[in-house]
Amino acid sequence: MGILNHLAAQLALIRKISIRNHQTTMSRRIHARRTEGVDKNVWVEFTQLAAEYKAVNLGQGFPDFSPPQFITEAFCKAVSGGPPMHQYTRAFGHPALVQSLAKFFSRIVGHDIDPFEDILVTVGAYQALFCAFQALIDEGDEVIIVEPFFDCYQPMVVMAGGKAVYVPLRPKEGTAVLSSGDWVLSAEELASKITPHTKAIVINTPNNPLGKVYKREELQMIADLCIKHDLLCFSDEVYEWLTYDGAKHVKIASLPGMWERTVTIGSGGKTFSATGWKVGWAMGSGHILKYMKTIHQNSIYHCATAAQEAVAQGFEREHELFGTPQSYFQQLPAMLHHRREKLASSLKGVGLQPIMPEGGYFMITDISSIAVDFKDSDTKDENYDFRFVKWLIKEKGLATIPVSAFYSPEHSKEFDKYIRFCFVKENSTLDAAEEILKKWSQNESSH
Amino acid sequence: MFLFRVAFTSLAADPSVVNLGQGFPDIPPPSYVKEALAKAVSVDRMNQYTRGFGHPPLVKALSQVYGHVYGRPIDPFKEVLVTVGGYGSLFSTMQGLVEEGDEVIIIEPFFDCYVPMVRMAGAKPVFIPLRLKSGKKSITSADWYLDPDELSSKFTSKTKAIIINTPNNPIGKILTRDELQMIADLCIKHDTLCFSDEVYEWLIYRGQQHVKIATLPGMWERTITIGSAGKTFSVTGWKLGWSIGPQHLIRHLQTVMQNTLYTCPTPLQEAVAQGLMLNMELIGQPECYFTSLAEELEGKRDRMAAIVQEAGMTPVIPEGGYFMLVDVSALNMKTDDDDDEAYDYKFVKWMIKKKKLAAIPVTAFVSDQSTKDFEKYIRLWVGNTYRKKIISHIFSL
């Protein structure tokens, strides 16, 4: 009997273990369907490649020089502030920050911005975009996106259940296309894209990657359509302080009838050359912002306190110095103006034709005049510019970004002969890029 | 709970009100962590974008610390995601793995964001309350338990996941190995996922042990474990957290991350990485913050419990975490407020107005069906006792 009991106990134990080990991986679909079709990401792919090949990096948009001293000092001061600087602050935005943003932007927008109702602070402008799409776009809504566009707009529309409808900026007919100002939006083409399902239009000015700074008349044309068809406008203005050659940044929210239907998005990272701080914001009428706050409180809830305090101090300083030569908002575009010229001349020096950007971080250049034998059968099915950029990283050690990544699937093949350079870099980086281009050009001409 | 926070935050923001409600410390963080942050900001590269799924020094530090804790190698690039707080990890997990038609089991009382996040993912929350052992005058968080039959009955063919939180907010209960095994058996039997919110994992009081459900057989491959720098280093305002799990789950959270905020702040991640590596060296020693913080809070916990008892109320001694439940029924306080409101809400409003003391009503952490079981409790944060004189005075009811 003892042996039988012993065996029974052993069998029970074995059965228990086998139940525990039985299903160690799930047999059904694990992921949520909203993650389908949005899993590829150009930045993840190319940032990794640039790092792997230790390329001279003119790809991803971040400065390789330091942020201005006054802003890093403000951060350090916040860090050594009392315990509250290291604990949760107000979820929709640190009071000091929303107040300084409201004060600063009210006079620019021409509207009394309520710091607590009309502003939401987010983890970078990226999260502000996410909140806008999640809060305001529903299944079946159409969103008009002007191409070329910062690539995240499209997956964000998809994730919100919406449908992206594209309208491209096109180079003006009959003129040499030398500047981003030569790329225009056709009013008829834009109007033709609007349907009863259209909920919003997304614009980005200054534009990434092209560098176009929309003129007042162009924004007025868009505004007229928004008002006529009762649309929302998401205006991504992260590069708002970076305009060159006298181009003026105009806020569409400042046009008549637009404050009540526009979400304007800004970035502390781009404003103060500290992209790694990830402090951004959305500004707009409280009756729209309140829905974005709901998304925010159910996804992130709070943003880091000390970084917000530092950006607040930055805006306080800029408020005092606005319009004067000491203002960082004067000094940064002046410095970048020269970097822009430097890169353009390096590209022209090797026979490439850059499109001079009126604003922003980037310059695109047409590469169709260069013949390259890729030899890489792995990338055979990819767009030409993707193959070119990968080849340029691997063979020449220069990192850029393919411009068709900023186009819809429908139009990407039309625009696959451009690559994008970031010129917001130290002179030494731009010199290194110039070296590579010169050597490459010399190799070519010696064949 | 959000309605509560919106309504009560302004009441409690009155500077004359002592706020024992919020879940953040008013003790300073360790100085080396603040120094590491200031130092990071002085390095140019640290002020620019880092790797989207987590700053390499941080994911490597997490992989080392948790590799040691889990007793298994953890791939820093494929099995770790850095997020904006534990909150951001919960969101990425829900958005990545839960959808319309799914059911998600939530144990009550629960950190209040679980329900809106489940709903935002299109799924249905299914509740199971922790129950108080009968006949026991509730004294510690260990007196609450999960009924095995009741739990088992909540699993259906639609169940996608169960969310557990150990140590628990607000009760402070630490799920025992047996309880976790029971949950694990059900997860395996019904082929579900487990989301384990372990943000208070280091705040374990004497005699208790924190067990990671992901270390039980068959669980690594179906569990996302969530941690928090804010709770680990008393820097809730840094809003950094992490999800750890198998690649085939983490990659969906990474997809969500790259489509929501892309990357977390660099200098903060750098500083947390350094804090983790420093304490990794000190594990087992008295200076290790992973254990010294718990010791410091335990003393405060005991003093708070004594004050509460002197005031005629009954504390529920927590086994872990930041919080303590207090049973206020012995005070028999009557209010003439709205009769539909739960008792704890009425009590807290009264306490703020009349006694200048703020706390959180515990029914904010339960579904409507469990209100009656929890409305005699309020939640206090244990650490505030440097102001114990004020508290005693206020509590002399």
8 Å CB contact of B237 and A34: no
Q: CA distances (Å), B68 to each of A315, A437, B64, B200, B244, in order?
A: 45, 48, 6, 18, 13
pLDDT digits (tens, 9 = 90+) for B20-68: 877 788 778 999 999 999 999 999 999 999 999 999 999 999 999 999 9
**Which positions 347-386 of B are in contact with A (Cβ < 8 Å)?**
none
**For chain A, first and last CA: distance in Å?**
93
Residues in chain B: 397
Sort out which chain A residues have CB atoms less than 8 A from B52's CB and list them. Answer: 41, 43-44, 47
Quick one: pLDDT at residue A18?
44
pLDDT digits (tens, 9 = 90+) for A56-73: 999 999 999 999 999 999
Look at residue B207 and tell me whether its pLDDT is greater than 50: yes
Say if CB B53 and CB B244 are below 8 A apart. no
Contact: A66, B222; criterion CB under 8 Å:
no
**A30:B252 CB<8 A:** yes
By CB neighbour count within 10 A (0-12 exposed, 13-18 middle, 19+ buried), where does B13 fall? exposed
Q: Is the pLDDT of residue B145 over 90?
A: yes
Give mean pLDDT, residues A180-194.
96
Chain B residues in contact with A273 (beta carbon < 8 A): 47
Distance CA(A297)–CA(B91), nearest Å, equals 11
Query: Is any Cβ of chain B less than 8 angstroms from the Cβ of A428?
Result: no
pLDDT at A2: 59
Q: What is the pLDDT of residue A7?
A: 60
Q: Look at residue B395 in the predicted model and tell me its pLDDT.
A: 63
Nearest Cβ partner of A30 from B97, B240, B263? B97
Question: Residue with structure tokens 């305009």?
Answer: A243
Higher per-residue pLDDT: B98 or A371: B98
Indicate the residue of A34, A83, A127 with minimum beta-carbon distance to B261.
A127
- Residue B358's pLDDT is what? 86
| CA neighbor of A165 nearest in space, from A188, A146, A180, A185 | A146
Average confidence (pLDDT) over B103-126: 97
Q: Chain A partners of B46 at a C-beta cutoff of 8 Å?
A: 276
**Confidence at residue B317, expressed as pLDDT on a 0 to 100 scale:** 96
State the Cα–Cα distance between residues A185 and A195, nearest whole angstrom.
Answer: 18
Residue A16 has pLDDT above 90, yes or no: no
Is A37 a residue whose pLDDT tops 80?
yes
**Closest-CA distance of chain A to residue B386, Å:** 14
Q: How confident is the model at residue B383 (pLDDT cuts 50, 70, 90)?
A: confident
pLDDT at A258 exceeding the cut of 60: yes
* Nearest CA distance, A171 vs chain B (angstrom): 30
Q: Is B192 helix (H, G, I), strand (E, B) or coil?
A: coil
**Residue A370 CB: number of other CB atoms within 10 A?**
15
Those residues whose C-beta lies under 8 Å from the C-beta of residue B363, and which sit 6 or more positions away, are B342, B344, B345, B370, B371, B374, B375
Over range B174-178, report the average pLDDT. 98
Q: CA A376 to CA A150: how far, in whole Å?
A: 28
Q: Which residues of B touch A275 (CB under 8 A)?
A: 47-49
- For A29, the closest chain B residue by CA position comes to B97
**Selected residue of A26, A151, A313 to mutate for chain B interface (largest B Cβ count, 10 A):** A26
Give tens-digit pLDDT for B236-287. 999 999 999 999 999 999 999 999 999 999 999 999 999 999 999 999 999 9
Nearest CA in chain B to A128: B261
Q: What is the mean pLDDT of chain B?
A: 91
Complex ipTM > 0.90: yes
For strands B124-129 and B103-108, give the pairing.
parallel
CA gap B261, A207 in Å, rounded: 20
Contact between chains at B49 and A301 (C-beta distance less than 8 A): no
The CA distance from B220 to B235, in Å, is 29
Please report, to the nearest 10 degrees, the dihedral formed by the alpha carbons of residues A53, A59, A62, A64 taken in order: 50
* Cα distance between residue A405 and residue A43, in whole Å: 10
- Residue A375 is predicted with a pLDDT of 76
CA B246 to chain centre: 22
Q: What is the pLDDT of residue A17?
A: 46
pLDDT at A42 over 90: no
pLDDT at A410: 87
A145, A163 Cβ separation under 8 angstroms: no
Taking an 8 Å cut-off on Cβ atoms, the answer to whether B217 and A21 are in contact is yes
What pLDDT score does B181 carry? 98
Asked if B222 and A84 come within 8 Å (Cβ–Cβ), the reply is no
Per the DSSP assignment, residues forming a β-bridge with B315 are B326
CA A291 to chain centre: 22
Query: Which pLDDT score, from 0 to 100, does residue A87 have?
Result: 93
**pLDDT tens, position by position, A75-104:** 999 999 988 999 999 999 999 999 999 999
**CB pair distance less than 8 Å for B87 and A301:** yes
Give the mean model confidence (pLDDT) for residues B72-84: 98
pLDDT at B1: 45
CA of A269, closest CA in chain B: separation in Å?
A: 8
d(CA A104, CA B7) in angstroms, rounded, equals 29
Mean pLDDT to the nearest integer, A390-419: 93
**B45 neighbors A103 (Cβ within 8 angstroms):** no
Residue recorded with tokens 């350094």: B274
Pairwise CB contact (< 8 Å): A79 & B41: yes
pLDDT for residue A23: 39
CB burial string B94-127: b at 16+ within 10 A, e below:
bbbbbbeebbbbbbbbbbbbbbbbbebbbbebbb
Residues of B in contact with A300 (CB under 8 A): 84-85, 87-88, 91, 239, 261
Residue to substitute from A123, A137, A151, A265, interface B, most B β-carbons within 10 A = A123
Tell whether A20 lies on the interface with B, counting CB pairs under 8 A.
yes
